[in-house]
Amino acid sequence: MTSSPTPAAARLLVDCLAEQGCDRIFTVPGESFLQVLDALTQQSAIDLVTCRQEGGVSFMACADGAMTGRPGIAFVTRGPGATNASIGVHVAMQDSQPMILFVGDVDSSMRDREGFQEIDFPAFFSPIAKWTARIDSADRIPEYVARAYATAISGRPGPVVLALPEDMLSRETAATPRPRMERPAQAPCPDAMATMMALLADAAAPVAIVGGAGWNAKAREYFQLFAERLGIPVATGFRRQDAIAPSSRVYAGNLGYGPNPKLVQRVKDADLILAVGARLGEATTDGYTVPPLIAPDRRLVHVHPDPGELNSVYRADLAICASMDEFAESAALWDNDDAIDFDAGAQAHAEWEDWASVHKDGHALDMDQAVQFMRDTLPADTIVCNGAGNFAGWWHRYWRYEGFPTQLAPTCGAMGYGVPAAVAASLRFPERTVVAVAGDGDFLMNGQELATAAQYGANLIVIVVDNSAYGTIRMHQEREFPGEDRVSGTRLANPDFAGLAEAFGGWSARAETTEQFKDALIAAKGRSGLRLVHCVIEVEQLAASGATISGLRQR
Ligand SMILES: Cc1ncc(C[n+]2csc(CCOP(=O)(O)OP(=O)(O)O)c2C)c(N)n1
């Protein structure tokens, strides 16, 4: 039997990715892109990570993009694969993270008959992606790949989806890859910077809100220098808690769900908001109420890399279109601000430290104490990953996200993100400690990716907080429709999570008390590979705010 040579188009596609710096692809294979899988056997620069569900694939790619600033790359098959992967595209869009999803498409001779697994992918993905297209010409693969990279990393980063007709991947071509794309320079205009400094000099109670599109380690370092020099309180957007070091003397805490009420009040009372990178989205602004949407006596300086974002929801008194690191560097190096010296930064930081300090909550497994013990035990630059659920609130409140990146968490609140993100993180940073924290509901949305972790020897710790409920929704139920007889659709009967981890080849422990949790974490720290701590708590322990079911019912 003679075997076919790898088609030139597929080799070109893989070489184009390598030229752009791609070193890892996440996939569930499909017969629609066998040529690409074959070409990857000849491209040593790229590792192929085979996952168990395309939701896991796209979450891993999204998290990889968040960590590197270059697009995370995912390959999935047509209808069933692409629809499974759509959750990660949505997260990458809402989280402003660079990612490219390649979809093996039907043969073009089958197109437009609703053939096997056929979907019009550009149409399907266009509302949730930054750009979508189909590559019909093998000769134009370099152009499409280069544009996909440029689009994913420029302005407000985001996801691109490219469909690959099966026959196109088999064509001959003599085209060659285009050189690596970099994001365009986007320095802030000096006049705008001068105006911003004048507005700050006039302000009595400014607050900065940072994080979001294109934030990186350089932006973090420079913005912190700037904010500390001026003494401005710095809040982070929802799930952007690594945007400034929490140890910074001006760090004021995080906005989003479950923030410090004193911080919320401070933002409401501010006479100037300096929003840098944050879109001022629904979560960060608590439904567009913090700061109030219309407040004539308040100034807004909004800095964002996408001009379309500026003035789109909140009218800005000064809109600066710039990349985060170039803006932050320019602000840090500005030398005409000696007269500006606020003491509010230190006050806000003290208020946050007070609010984020652990107290005893009286439960057998005290989650406040558990996170405090984790802080005392694991390295400060541990990467903490989570999906959605009230359990995450304990880490958002009590963990310190030192270093960048240290928080991988979907701002769009998608369950199931934590485990895949932790797999991607442990592959990207094998020397760092990586922890996935998950609720019992959250964990089982993508718990199958423990198989991927085991297959690739990932070092990660999973902490499952099991309250036998979709607790967040139960909390909302108890607020809106309190009563035992009105609990509906939120109870869960769970497997033995510790036993499950062992079935995947991991180590595990079960903790029902704070002391057992401490022992389990120490034991987990002393091992490598896949480790899971199954924390059994009561559903009564609804949230890090201290909310309980009985308390809500009494209200
Ligand atoms: C993919 C997805 N499906 C549904 C939801 C709605 N949702 C938000 S939180 C939540 C419950 C999470 O339960 P669990 O992981 O057990 O955490 P807990 O709230 O109990 O701490 C649900 C169903 C969502 N955010 N994402």
Task: Clarify whether residues 330 and 463 are in a common domain.
Answer: no
Task: Clarify whether residues 69 and 101 are in a common domain.
Answer: yes
* pLDDT at res. 137: 98
391 lines ligand 1 (CB under 6 A): yes
User: Residue 335 is encoded by which pair of tokens?
Assistant: 């030398």
Nearest Cα residue to atom 3 of ligand 1:
415
Q: Where are the alpha helices (DSSP H) in 41-101?
A: 54-68, 79-94
Q: Which atom of ligand 1 is nearest to the CA of 87?
A: 1
Task: Clarify whether residues 455 and 440 are in a common domain.
Answer: yes
414 lines ligand 1 (CB under 6 A): yes
Q: Alpha-carbon distance 152 to 273, whole Å?
A: 28
Task: Clarify whether residues 474 and 372 are in a common domain.
Answer: yes
Q: Alpha-carbon distance 86 to 98, whole Å?
A: 15
466 lines ligand 1 (CB under 6 A): no
Q: Alpha-carbon distance 521 to 219, whole Å?
A: 33
For residue 389, is it within any domain?
yes
* pLDDT at res. 4: 86
State how far the alpha carbon of 424 is from the alpha carbons of 20, 240, 326, 439, 453, in Å: 19, 18, 28, 19, 9
Nearest Cα residue to atom 9 of ligand 1:
389
CA 186–ligand 1 middle distance (angstroms): 38
Task: Clarify whether residues 28 and 77 are in a common domain.
Answer: yes
* pLDDT at res. 2: 67
Domain that holds residue 52: 8-170
Q: Where are the alpha helices (DSSP H) in 95-140?
A: 121-125
Q: Which amino acid does the sequence have at 103?
A: V
Q: Alpha-carbon distance 226 to 229, whole Å?
A: 5
For residue 2, is it within any domain?
no
473 lines ligand 1 (CB under 6 A): yes
Q: What angle do CA 524, 525, 528 make, to 5 degrees?
A: 75
470 lines ligand 1 (CB under 6 A): yes
258 lines ligand 1 (CB under 6 A): no
For residue 185, is it within any domain?
no
Identify the CA nearest to 489 among candidates 446, 444, 419, 441. Answer: 441
CA 388–ligand 1 middle distance (angstroms): 5
Q: What is the DSSP string of 527-545?
A: --SEEEEEEE--TT---TT
In this structure, are residues 80 and 142 in contact, taking their beta carbons and an 8 Å threshold?
A: no
390 lines ligand 1 (CB under 6 A): yes
440 lines ligand 1 (CB under 6 A): yes
Q: Which amino acid does the sequence have at 17?
A: L
For residue 343, is it within any domain?
yes
Q: Which atom of ligand 1 is nearest to the CA of 387?
A: 15
Nearest Cα residue to atom 11 of ligand 1:
470
In this structure, are residues 235 and 261 in contact, taking their beta carbons and an 8 Å threshold?
A: no
CA 480–ligand 1 middle distance (angstroms): 17
CATH code for position 308: 3.40.50.1220
412 lines ligand 1 (CB under 6 A): no
For residue 179, is it within any domain?
no
Task: Clarify whether residues 65 and 202 are in a common domain.
Answer: no
Cβ neighbours of residue 3 under 8 Å, at least 6 residues apart? none
Q: Which atom of ligand 1 is nearest to the CA of 391?
A: 21
283 lines ligand 1 (CB under 6 A): no
Q: Alpha-carbon distance 444 to 495, whole Å?
A: 10
Domain boundary among 308, 336, 353: 353
CA 441–ligand 1 middle distance (angstroms): 6
Identify the CA nearest to 416 among candidates 391, 394, 386. Answer: 386
Task: Clarify whether residues 315 and 364 are in a common domain.
Answer: no
CA 488–ligand 1 middle distance (angstroms): 14
For residue 496, is it within any domain?
yes
Neighbours of 252 (CB within 10 A): 31
Identify the CA nearest to 334 among candidates 120, 141, 187. Answer: 187
Per DSSP, the three-state class of 176 is: coil
The phi, psi pair for 489, rounded to 5°, reads 75, 10
Task: Clarify whether residues 349 and 367 are in a common domain.
Answer: no
* pLDDT at res. 179: 98
471 lines ligand 1 (CB under 6 A): yes
* pLDDT at res. 157: 98
Q: How many domains does the chain have?
A: 3
Token match 């280069």: residue?
Answer: 146
Identify the CA nearest to 384 among candidates 439, 347, 438. Answer: 438
Q: Ligand 1 pocket: which of 390, 443, 479 to mutate (most atoms <8 Å of CB)?
A: 390
For residue 95, is it within any domain?
yes
Half-sphere exposure of 310 (CA within 13 A, CB side): 20
Q: Ligand 1 pocket: which of 59, 84, 470 to mutate (most atoms <8 Å of CB)?
A: 470
In this structure, are residues 55 and 6 in contact, taking their beta carbons and an 8 Å threshold?
A: no
Q: Is the peptide bond before 405 cis (omega within 30 degrees of 0)?
A: yes
For residue 135, is it within any domain?
yes
Cβ neighbours of residue 353 under 8 Å, at least 6 residues apart? none
* pLDDT at res. 360: 83
The phi, psi pair for 433, rounded to 5°, reads -80, 130
Domain boundary among 294, 323, 353: 353
497 lines ligand 1 (CB under 6 A): no
Identify the CA nearest to 551 among candidates 469, 466, 468, 479. Answer: 479
Q: Which atom of ligand 1 is nearest to the CA of 539?
A: 20
Q: Alpha-carbon distance 220 to 431, whole Å?
A: 22
Task: Clarify whether residues 57 and 31 are in a common domain.
Answer: yes
Q: Which atom of ligand 1 is nearest to the CA of 467?
A: 20
CA 147–ligand 1 middle distance (angstroms): 36
CA 473–ligand 1 middle distance (angstroms): 7
Neighbours of 483 (CB within 10 A): 9
* pLDDT at res. 319: 98
Domain boundary among 306, 336, 353: 353
CATH code for position 86: 3.40.50.970
Task: Clarify whether residues 505 and 380 are in a common domain.
Answer: yes
Per DSSP, the three-state class of 115 is: coil
Q: Which amino acid does the sequence have at 267?
A: V
Cβ neighbours of residue 203 under 8 Å, at least 6 residues apart? 271, 272, 299
* pLDDT at res. 1: 59
Q: Ligand 1 pocket: which of 90, 440, 472, 538 to mutate (most atoms <8 Å of CB)?
A: 472
Task: Clarify whether residues 252 and 347 are in a common domain.
Answer: yes
- Strands 159-165 vs 72-76: parallel, antiparallel or unpaired: unpaired
Task: Clarify whether residues 154 and 256 are in a common domain.
Answer: no
| DSSP 8-state code for residue 136 | -
In this structure, are residues 164 and 135 in contact, taking their beta carbons and an 8 Å threshold?
A: yes
Return averaged pLDDT per consecutive 10 residues of the chain, 555 residues in all.
87 98 98 98 97 98 98 98 98 98 96 94 97 98 98 98 98 98 96 96 96 94 96 96 97 94 95 95 89 83 97 95 98 83 95 93 93 97 97 97 96 96 98 98 98 98 98 94 94 96 98 98 98 96 87 86
Is the C-alpha dihedral spanning 319, 324, 325, 326 positive or negative? negative
Q: What is the DSSP string of 299-338?
A: EEEEEES-TTTTTTSSPPSEEEE--HHHHHHHHHH----T
404 lines ligand 1 (CB under 6 A): no
End-to-end Cα separation, the chain, in angstroms: 76
Q: Which atom of ligand 1 is nearest to the CA of 471?
A: 20
